[in-house]
């Protein structure tokens, strides 16, 4: 039992640093997670699609598939799925090294995030915007790991606190009625 009285199994973190949406879909299959059930799911994915120059349309299609899979994992309870915006890696020392155009990075990240926010709204899912605050702090040494690219544990902890506030509120709500015939 946690400090606040919540009882959970240990979290299952599927994605790894450097993964694209395609990599995450493949891992879900490889780990046999289709059909698994979870109380909560969060998705923060896509920065590596942008970094690798993959087509935005591919990201859109694969994110839509990831959302479908995630909704199945939470029994269709969209209020238990959270989508996060993508942090702008162009503000980091790695991004500022002159090898990439930081304005182009920001513009592409904004396009990805616009789609994430739009699909969250269309599908009535939680959307947590982290990009703008990260643009203000993402280049600070304390907020980065040694590679000068990836966020530090402090940044991830802040994002986790934000997700937990949303999720705690949702877990206190009864599941919505679905009016399925098997529930009568």
Inside any domain, residue 127: yes
Residue by residue, DSSP assigns 119-143 as HHHHTT-EEE--HHHHHHHTTSGGG
Average pLDDT, the chain: 90
What pLDDT, in 10s, does the model give residues 59-80?
999 999 999 999 999 999 999 9
pLDDT per position as a tens digit, 133-183: 999 999 999 999 999 999 999 999 999 999 999 988 877 776 666 544 444
Tally the domains of the chain.
Answer: 1
Q: What is the mean pLDDT of residues 6-28?
A: 89
Give a yes or no: residue 104 inside a domain.
yes
Closest by CA to 167, choosing from 80, 67, 42, is 80
pTM of this structure: 0.88
Per-residue confidence band for 184, with pLDDT thresholds at 50, 70 and 90? very low
Task: Estimate the crossing angle of helix 21-30 against helix 56-73, to 10 degrees.
Answer: 30
**Containing structural domain, residue 137:** 21-171
Look at residue 183 in the predicted model and tell me its pLDDT: 44
Q: What CATH number does the domain containing 91 carry?
A: 3.40.50.1110
């Amino acid at each position: 039992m946690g400090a606040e009285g919540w009882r959970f199994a240990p979290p299952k973190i599927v994605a790894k640093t450097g993964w694209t949406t395609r990599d995450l879909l493949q891992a879900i299959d490889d780990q046999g997670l289709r059909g698994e059930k979870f109380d909560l799911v969060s998705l923060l994915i896509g920065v590596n699609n942008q970094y690798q120059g993959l087509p935005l349309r591919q990201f859109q299609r694969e994110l839509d598939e990831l959302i479908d899979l995630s909704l199945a994992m939470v029994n269709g309870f969209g209020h238990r799925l959270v989508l996060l915006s993508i942090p702008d890696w162009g503000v980091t020392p790695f991004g500022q090294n002159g090898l990439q155009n930081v304005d182009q990075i920001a513009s592409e990240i904004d396009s990805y995030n616009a789609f994430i926010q739009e699909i969250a709204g269309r599908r009535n899912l939680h959307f947590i915007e982290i990009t703008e605050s990260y643009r203000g702090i993402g280049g600070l040494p304390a907020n980065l790991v040694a590679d000068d690219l990836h966020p530090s544990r402090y940044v991830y902890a802040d994002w986790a606190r934000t997700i937990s506030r949303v999720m705690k509120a949702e877990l206190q709500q009864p599941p919505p009625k679905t009016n399925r015939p098997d529930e009568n």
